[in-house]
Amino acid sequence: MTTPTLADLRNALELIGHEYALLYAGFSRITREVEPLDSMLERLQAAVTALEAGAVVALEDERQALLTDARSSLALYTSERALVLEAKAMGPEVHAFAELEEEASLVSATYRRHFEGQARATRDLGLLAEMIADLDRLLSGMEELQPSLPEGLKMEATIATVRSNRALYGDERGAVVEARGADGEEEQAGVLAEVANGQFQTYRDHFAGKARVTRRPQLLQRIIDNLTVVLDRMTMLKAAGFVSEWNEKNIEVVQAQLAHYRTELNEVRAAREALPLTDLQVVLGGAANEIMGEYGQNYAGMSRRACDLGRLGVLCDLLAEVRRQMAELGWFFPTDVNTRNLRLVTDHRALLEREWVAVRDAKATAEASP
C-alpha cells in the first residue's frame, strides 16, 4: 500500500471538514444522522494513526501541526456524534418541532432575499401571501406540539419569533398595497409595468424550457393572479383618464401573456395528472440534482465576490419549489425515497441560503473597499 504524503492527509482532512460543514454546521442536531459522522470519524482516525506513527515524509513541525488539527477534529466530531444521539433521544415531538423551526427559517430566508431593502411597491404580493400561509401553518404546528415538549425545552423564544415574523409579513403586505397607490398616475403605471416584468421573469426562471411534470401548478396560478391584479390596475388607470401609449401597450402585453400562461397551466396540470406519484418522486429528485449541479459548476469553490448573486437567488427559489412539492407529496403519499430526498433538498436549500448571504456580504465588502 502506498504511504500517504503529508499533502494527501491534509487534503483528506480538508475534504472531511468540508463534508462536516455541509452536513452539520448550522443545523439542528435532532435533524442529523450519525452515519455520515461515523464515516468521517473512521477516516479521521486513519489520518491520526498515520500521523502518530510518523508514516509520512514531512518536517516534524508540519507533521505535529497537522496531527494537532486532526486530533481536534476527531474530538469535535466524536462529541458531535454523542450530541446528535442525545438530541434524537428526546422523542418524536422534539424532532417534529425542529423540522417546523427549520422550515420557518427558510421562510425567513425568502423574505430576506425578496423583501428586505427592496422597493415595496414592486414586491410580489402572491409570494408574500404564500409565506404568510406557511407561517400560519408552521405556527399552528408549533403551538400544538409545545405542550408535549420536555420541560425546559418549550421553545417559547422560537414561537415568539415566528409569531413576530407573521405579524411583520402581514404589515408588509399592507405596506406594499399602499405603496403602489401612493404616487401619481404615471408613477403608478411605471410600478405596474415593473411588477409585470417581475412576473414575466419568474415565469422564465421557473417554467421556460423546464419539464412540465416538475413544475408546481400553484406557482403558475400565483403568477396569473398577480398579473390579473396588475391588468386590473392598468385598466383602471386608463378608465380614470390616464392617457399613455406605453400603458396601452403594456395592457396588451399583459393580456397576451395571461392567455399564454393560462394555456400553459392547463398543460402543466395535464402532464402531472398523467404521471404516477412514484415517478413524480424520481423526476423531482432529478430536478433537484440539476439545480445543485448548476450550483456546483458556477459557485462551489469560486470567489464569492465574483459570483452572480441574482442567479444564486434564483437557484434558491428553484430548490424551494422542488422542496415544497416533495413536502406536499409526503403529506399524502409518504415513502422512504421521498423522505430521504426531502431531507437532502432541505439541507441543500439551507446551504444555498447561507451561501447567498455570504456572497451578498462579500460583494458589499468589495464595494465598500477603497
Residue 318 CA to residue 215 CA, distance in Å, equals 10
Q: Give CA–CA dist 84/341, Å, rounded.
A: 20
Residue 2 has pLDDT above 70, yes or no: no
- How far CA 192 is from CA of 37, 111, 244, 300, in Å, comes to 52, 21, 13, 37
Q: Quote the radius of gyration of the chain (alpha carbons, Å).
A: 25
Beta-carbon neighbour count of residue 59 at 10 Å? 9
Distance from C-alpha of 156 to C-alpha of 320, rounded to nearest angstrom: 27
Question: Other CB atoms closer than 10 Å to residue 107's CB: what's the count?
Answer: 20
Instruction: Find the Cα–Cα–Cα–Cα dihedral 257, 259, 262, 263, rounded to 10°.
Output: -110
Whole-number pLDDT of residue 56: 60
Write down the mean pLDDT value for the chain.
92
Query: What are 60-116's pLDDT values in tens digits?
Result: 778 788 889 999 999 999 999 998 898 888 888 988 999 999 999 999 999 999 999
| 304-352 pLDDT tens trace | 999 999 999 999 999 999 999 999 999 989 999 999 999 999 999 999 9
Long-range contacts, stretch 125-133, CB < 8 angstroms, 24+ apart = 125/173, 125/176, 125/177, 125/226, 125/229, 126/222, 126/223, 126/225, 126/226, 127/222, 128/169, 128/172, 128/173, 128/176, 129/173, 130/222, 131/107, 131/169, 132/166, 132/169, 132/170, 132/173
Q: What is the mean pLDDT of residues 133-162?
A: 92
Residues in the chain: 370
Q: List, for residues 172-193, the tens digit of each pLDDT value.
A: 999 999 998 877 899 999 999 9
Q: What is the pLDDT of residue 297?
A: 93
Instruction: Specify whether the CB–CB gap between 106 and 161 falls below 8 A.
Output: no
> Of all residues in the chain, what percent carry a pLDDT higher than 70?
97
